[in-house]
């Protein structure tokens, strides 16, 4: 069985706790590796290494830090196929999705390559008599990221890419369910030229999380996961004086107006609801057709579309999606489906009995479709995080607008329409952080910013883009006045390369 190590101060370190997390192959159900679960002392060793490395790294000029990011990007692209295969073997998503996972992370690395420009401060000449005022952005020190299983490449790169580029060092605690790719990324960062200790990977469970949240040398923590844990991370980290951004769960809605292009809507819903087995915080698990005719036609077309979906092993190029990450998660999804039936929703397509020949022990579950879901149902209120699409019908634009606006989550939402005025009004009024107009998964490009509202996010600063730079830096403002005097004899030295 393969053993996974921590990565601290540029070296692989075996775990010392004697506790391990099993890493499964979701296609077969077999345990393929074990990840060590760190002690507080092991986490502290990583923090000490990061703190020692950060001083020199922060003193490295931004252009040279950017060159490391350029080289890191090249190395990840060089190893794209191998990284995607590893990712798929531990997560279960198909190879194409794994490559997309890596590519979306690299887009933030591309943004980080331009960090010298973004770090430029502000300057006011003559703010007062002989007085100039200017500001500079400086790194915080040691930062940390706690990342989920569903995007083991993208979300770590969203975090450490910007944090390291601005001059911080970083502790990454990835999910113990699929931890190999994060370690590979740290190794590539060292190969790209980052000093040892700038990026460290420590595996663990709640013990490691609590050690991160309470460690006095860690200045900022970024988290992505469920809302309950996000709230805990935010409260605990903030109580210990840390800057915290904690992204939680989601229940994204797709509003389908009567004038929408249903052919395109059905294709979009198929990918957004069932792609990556629905294990995405920006998946679209709720569709809201406006009007009975729209709802009836959409349902009929979705049933036909679902029949064309192929569930297969992650290496099958013809598969639309693969297994979910674990047996417990598969059982949780099945329990939600049964609860939906008990609550009175109509189960139009039931994916619970799906089995893949030759891979009967894999963690597979077929696509499911509900109709007649109402906003009072628990299955509507909570995040299922699986290949389950729920139809919640609305009679009017106002009713459709109210559903995502009043939901406890506010991560993403989409509206499908040809009417520009309706789209504009919806985008302006909806109480959700990210909006798509005829775009089913409105994840912003890397130079914009990612973040939801309500119980989908805790903290005031979003992920990546300029917001990410603000999160990982602190502003220092200088007000300067120079006394008048004799300047003769002053020495002006042209700088040279050293």
Catalytically annotated residues? 281
Q: Which two tokens stand for residue 201?
A: 């990977």
Asked if residues 27 and 324 have their Cβ atoms less than 8 Å apart, the reply is no
Asked if residues 132 and 480 have their Cβ atoms less than 8 Å apart, the reply is yes
Q: Which two tokens stand for residue 402?
A: 């109210």
Asked if residues 340 and 373 have their Cβ atoms less than 8 Å apart, the reply is yes
Provide φ and ψ at 450, rounded to 5°. Answer: -110, 130
What would you report as the CA-atom Rg of the chain, rounded to the nearest whole angstrom?
25
Identify the residue whose tokens are 């009967």.
360
Burial tier of 138 (Cβ tally within 10 Å: 0-12, 13-18, 19+)? middle
376: Cβ–Cβ under 8 A, 6 or more apart, which residues?
Answer: none
Q: Which two tokens stand for residue 182?
A: 């994060």
366: Cβ–Cβ under 8 A, 6 or more apart, which residues?
Answer: 311, 349, 350, 351, 352, 353, 354, 387
Alpha carbons 294 and 238: distance in angstroms, whole number: 47
CB atoms closer than 10 angstroms to residue 166:
25
Alpha carbons 398 and 411: distance in angstroms, whole number: 20
The residues with which 247 forms a beta bridge, in sequence order, are 224, 457
Q: Which two tokens stand for residue 223?
A: 């988290």
Provide φ and ψ at 37, rounded to 5°. Answer: -105, 115
250: Cβ–Cβ under 8 A, 6 or more apart, which residues?
Answer: 281, 282, 283, 383, 409, 411, 412, 452, 456
Identify the residue whose tokens are 């935010």.
234
Nearest to 1 by CA among 31, 42, 27: 31
Q: Which two tokens stand for residue 91?
A: 């997560």
Looking from the CA of 430 toward its CB, the CA atoms found within 13 Å total 31
Nearest to 23 by CA among 246, 177, 149, 133: 177
Looking from the CA of 416 toward its CB, the CA atoms found within 13 Å total 27
């Amino acid at each position: 069985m393969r053993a996974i190590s921590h990565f601290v101060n540029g070296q692989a370190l075996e775990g010392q706790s004697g506790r391990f997390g099993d890493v499964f192959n979701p296609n077969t159900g077999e345990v393929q590796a074990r990840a060590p679960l760190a002690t507080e002392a092991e986490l502290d060793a990583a923090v000490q290494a990061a703190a020692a490395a950060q001083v020199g790294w922060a003193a490295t000029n931004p252009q040279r830090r950017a060159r490391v990011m350029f080289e890191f990007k090249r190395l990840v692209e060089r190893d794209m196929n191998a990284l995607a295969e590893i990712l798929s073997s531990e997560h279960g998503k198909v190879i194409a999705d794994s490559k997309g996972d890596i590519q979306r992370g690299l887009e933030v690395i591309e943004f980080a390559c331009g960090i010298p420009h973004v770090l430029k401060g502000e300057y006011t000449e003559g703010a007062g008599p002989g007085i100039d005022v200017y500001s500079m952005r400086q790194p915080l020190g040691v930062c940390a990221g706690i990342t989920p299983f569903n995007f083991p490449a993208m979300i770590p790169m969203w975090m450490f890419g910007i944090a390291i580029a601005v001059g911080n060092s970083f502790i990454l605690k990835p999910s113990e369910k699929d931890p190999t790719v994060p370690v590979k990324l740290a190794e590539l960062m060292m190969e790209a030229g980052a000093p040892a200790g700038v990026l460290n990977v420590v595996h663990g469970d709640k013990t490691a999380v609590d050690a991160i949240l309470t460690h006095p040398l860690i200045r900022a923590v970024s988290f992505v996961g469920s809302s309950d844990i996000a709230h805990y991370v935010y409260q605990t980290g903030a109580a210990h004086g840390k800057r915290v951004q904690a992204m939680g769960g989601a229940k994204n809605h797709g509003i389908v107006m009567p004038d929408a292009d249903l052919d395109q809507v059905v294709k979009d819903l198929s990918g957004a609801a069932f792609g990556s087995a629905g294990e995405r915080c920006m998946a679209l698990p709720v569709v809201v057709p406006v009007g009975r005719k729209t709802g009836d036609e959409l349902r009929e077309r979705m049933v036909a579309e679902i029949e064309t979906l192929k569930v297969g092993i992650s290496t099958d190029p013809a598969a639309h999606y693969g297994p979910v990450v674990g047996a417990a998660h598969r059982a949780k999804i099945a329990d939600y489906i049964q609860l939906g039936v008990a609550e009175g929703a109509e189960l139009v397509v039931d994916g619970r009995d799906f089995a893949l020949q030759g891979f009967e022990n894999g963690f597979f579950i077929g696509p499911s479709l509900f109709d007649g879901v109402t906003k009072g149902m628990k299955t509507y209120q909570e995040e299922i995080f699986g290949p389950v699409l729920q139809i919640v019908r609305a009679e009017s634009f106002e009713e459709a607008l109210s559903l995502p606006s009043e939901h406890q989550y506010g991560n993403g939402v989409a509206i499908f329409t040809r009417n520009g005025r309706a789209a504009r009004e919806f985008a302006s009024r909806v109480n959700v952080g990210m909006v798509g107009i005829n775009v089913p998964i409105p994840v912003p490009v890397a130079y914009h910013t990612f973040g939801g509202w309500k119980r989908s996010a805790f903290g005031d600063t979003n992920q990546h883009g300029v917001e990410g730079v603000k999160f990982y830096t602190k502003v220092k403002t200088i007000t300067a006045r120079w006394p008048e005097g004799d300047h003769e004899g002053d020495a002006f030295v042209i700088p040279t390369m050293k």
